[in-house]
Structures are given as structure tokens and as C-alpha cells.
Amino acid sequence: MNIIGLYNYWIVVVLMMIGFYVVIAHENLIKKLVGVSIFQTSVFFFYISMGKISGATPPILDDHYQLYSNPLPHVLILTAIVVGIATTALGLALVVRIQEAYGSIEEHEIQDQDTQDQMESRLEAYGFRKKHVLSVQNLDE
């Protein structure tokens, strides 16, 4: 069993880094969220790996078995998965609203529009009138 020694962990690290890279390098807001979930899932995998004992069974007590894997990482990761889905759901809701407000979910396009907003408010500070911006919020209420 020891052949793979740390192999498992190294793969986990590679996975984490792919996820992490997707989060910070990509500009599409949905893709970032996919990256986050890959990143997190890999961390979960890391926790579960450390709870494993070779030749053991799942920690559901039964007279037939003696050796059980460690239940504590499982409990932690159950919680973490829930936190993960909660974050994803909220993030997606935000993405939907951003799409409605900006007409895009690409980071740089949003930034361009924000810069324009900022220019306008800068002009406004020096006495120019701000263009009317239709916000989706108005439609909602």
C-alpha cells in the first residue's frame, strides 16, 4: 500500500491548483464558480484521504468488523460540502443579477462599464449631469 505513499496527496494538490488557477485566471464569472467548486472539492478529497486506513471499513459499527476509517474528517467534510453548495448558490444568484445589470458576465467587460460609471461620477463631481442608468431593481419592485 505504501507504494503510493504521498501520491494521493500530490494528485490532490494538482487538482487544487487547477481549480485555483481557473478561479483567478479566468474572467467568466460562471467559470470562476466552477473553479471554486473544483478547488473546494479537492480540499474535501484531501480531508477524506487522511481519514482512510488501509483495509478498514466505513465507520458504521458492526460486529463483523474491527477496523474502521476515521469518522471525524467525514463529518467535517459533510459540513464543508454544505458550505460549498451554499456559496455556489449565492454566487450563481449574483451572476444572474450581474448579467441583468451589465449585460455581460465577463470580468473585463464589467470593469469597462464600471470605469465608465466612475468617469461619469467624476464628471458629475465637477458639475456635469449623470446619465440616467436603468437598473433592474426598478423593474423588480
Q: Minimum Å distance from CB 132 to other proteins? A: 13
> Least distance (Å) from other proteins to the CB of residue 131?
14
CB atoms within 10 A of CB 68: 15
Nearest residue (CB) to other proteins, 132 versus 139: 139
Report the alpha-carbon distance of residue 125 to residue 131 in Å, rounded: 13
- CB of residue 116 to other proteins, shortest distance in Å: 11
Nearer to other proteins, 62 or 132 (CB): 62
Cα within 13 Å of Cα(74), Cβ side: 9
* 62 Cβ contact partners less than 8 Å away, ≥ 6 residues apart: none
User: Which residue number, 132 or 141, has a Cβ lying nearer to other proteins?
Assistant: 141
